Amino acid sequence: MKLGDGVEQAIHSVSMLAGLSDGGVLSAAALAEFHGVSTSYLLKHLQALSGAGIVNTVPGPKGGYKLAKATEEISLLDIVLAVEGPEPAFRCSEIRQRGPNRLPGRYFTKPCQISAAMLKAERVYRAELAKTSIADIVAQLAADDDGGIAARGCAFLEINERKAAR
Amino acid sequence: MKLGDGVEQAIHSVSMLAGLSDGGVLSAAALAEFHGVSTSYLLKHLQALSGAGIVNTVPGPKGGYKLAKATEEISLLDIVLAVEGPEPAFRCSEIRQRGPNRLPGRYFTKPCQISAAMLKAERVYRAELAKTSIADIVAQLAADDDGGIAARGCAFLEINERKAAR
């Protein structure tokens, strides 16, 4: 089972955007610099987050990204589904219906037992991811911080936050 | 999040091997034919199952595959990990430590909060997969069957099962 690198980048980026002041935005280049990742690759994930209604894009030379909703309303599941797509990890290709001496269609009206069990585990996984919000992540980070992490983030935002955006 | 096709093929193959009589084996070609999949591709997954101690390989011209343990002792998790590898789906590349103005190492002695939350969800996923055994899958299949599915499987095993193996 694999998740792309984009998930880590997207969750960190959303957490960073949580630190913006009202009306502030961050460019994709700034987000990429802060996380030491490729801007073009991150842009793809920011577009996915935008498509899912997690971030808003402010266009123009002073534009950038900001959160589209409160951090309490953005779960890790929202971000994973935005970046990875909504399809389940297990994709049943109905191999039970292939091969020699096939059975009539009435045997395949219910989902395959294997598919059902795999999808049940995925529902549990998703439910667990849905329990953690970006607000939780930011609060946990703050609880573990003696001030150094916040100071670094604030200094970076001080330099890179664009305030001219609506 | 993605699981390869091999997971579906491997779980179906293990379920099919559960129907063998004592001392019987099935060739990779027979398993591939029954499931309508490529033999060479299936072989790779059978080797992974063998490496994980889920199936035994009987060598020789009358050789093939059989289960290495009771169906109650083979969980869906065992098969997923055998085929997909043991690594977690979420791989933290510690992007929190990259970028400008890095913090001292003492800030990174605990796992990143994001990684911890992602891995917690994976533990829940794995625990759920561990709850379902191949015995459960076979029992569920039998419960939904009016005899047609069993008859098809038995007819195929009748023709393809190799009995000469130890």
pLDDT per residue as tens digits for the range B87-109: 999 999 999 999 988 899 999 99
For residue B24, what are the CA distances in angstroms to B46, B64, B83, B94, B100? 16, 9, 24, 50, 63
B66 in helix, strand or coil?
A: strand
- CB within 8 Å of chain B, chain A residues 18-77: 33-37, 76
Is B7 in contact with B37 (CB distance < 8 Å)? no
Interface of B with A in 111-150 (CB under 8 A): 113-115, 117-118, 120-122, 124-125, 128-129, 132, 136-137, 140-141, 144-145, 148-149
pLDDT-derived band at A163, boundaries 50, 70, 90: confident
Lowest mean pLDDT among B91-100, B114-123, B128-137: B91-100
For the residues A6-14, what does the mean pLDDT come to?
Answer: 97
The pLDDT assigned to B165 comes to 45
Question: Rounded to whole angstroms, how far apart are CA atoms B46 and A151?
Answer: 53
Q: Do B34 and A89 touch (CB under 8 A)?
A: no
A81 touches chain B (CB under 8 A): no
Q: How far is A101 from chain B (nearest CA, A)?
A: 7
Q: Which residues pair with B2 in a beta bridge?
A: A2
Domain residues of chain B, as ranges? 5-86+133-163
pLDDT score at A165 = 45
Q: What φ, ψ does residue B37 adopt, rounded to 5°?
A: -125, 170
Question: In chain A, which residues have their Cβ closer than 8 Å to the Cβ of B99?
Answer: 33-36, 156
8 A C-beta contact, residue B81 and residue B51: no
Is A90's CB within 8 Å of B155's CB?
Answer: no
Residue pair A114/B15 in contact (Cβ under 8 Å)? The answer is yes
- Chain-centroid distance of CA B75 in Å reads 8
**% chain A with pLDDT above 70:** 98
Token pair for A131: 């329990």
Q: Tell me, rounded to whole angstroms, the distance of Cα A72 from its chain centroid.
A: 14
Quote the CA–CA distance of B157 and B26 in Å, as a whole number.
8
Q: What is the pLDDT of residue A152?
A: 94
pLDDT one-digit tens code per residue, A42-99? 999 999 999 999 999 999 989 999 999 999 999 999 999 999 999 999 999 999 999 9
Q: What's the pLDDT tens digit per position in B37-56?
A: 999 999 999 999 999 999 99
Q: List chain B residues with CB under 8 Å of A104.
A: 148
pTM above 0.90, yes or no: yes
In this prediction, residue B164 has a pLDDT band, given cuts at 50, 70 and 90, of low
Beta bridge partners of A133: A75
CB B31 within 8 A of CB B16: yes
Instruction: Give the 3-state secondary structure of residue B19.
Output: coil
Q: Nearest-CA neighbor of B4 among A54, A122, A155, A2?
A: A2
pLDDT value, residue A33: 96
Segment B1-28, tens digit of pLDDT: 789 989 999 999 999 999 999 999 999 9
**Is the domain covering B5-86+133-163 a CATH 1.10.10.10 domain?**
yes
Question: Residues in chain A, how many?
Answer: 166
Residue A26's alpha-carbon distances to A16, A34, B16, in angstroms, are: 9, 11, 55
- Res B166 pLDDT > 60: no
Closest CA to A80 of B130, B132, B50, B114: B114
Lowest mean pLDDT, pick from A44-48, A101-105, B152-156: A101-105
Q: Is the pLDDT of residue A150 over 80?
A: yes
The answer for residues whose C-beta is within 8 angstroms of residue A165's C-beta and 6 or more apart is A23, A24, A25, A58, A60, A62, A63, A64, A66
Structure tokens at B91: 């791989």
> What's the whole-number mean pLDDT along residues B146-165?
90
Minimal C-alpha gap between A50 and chain B (Å): 19
Tell me the angle at which helices B28-35 and B148-160 cross, rounded to the nearest 10 degrees: 150
pLDDT score at A164: 61
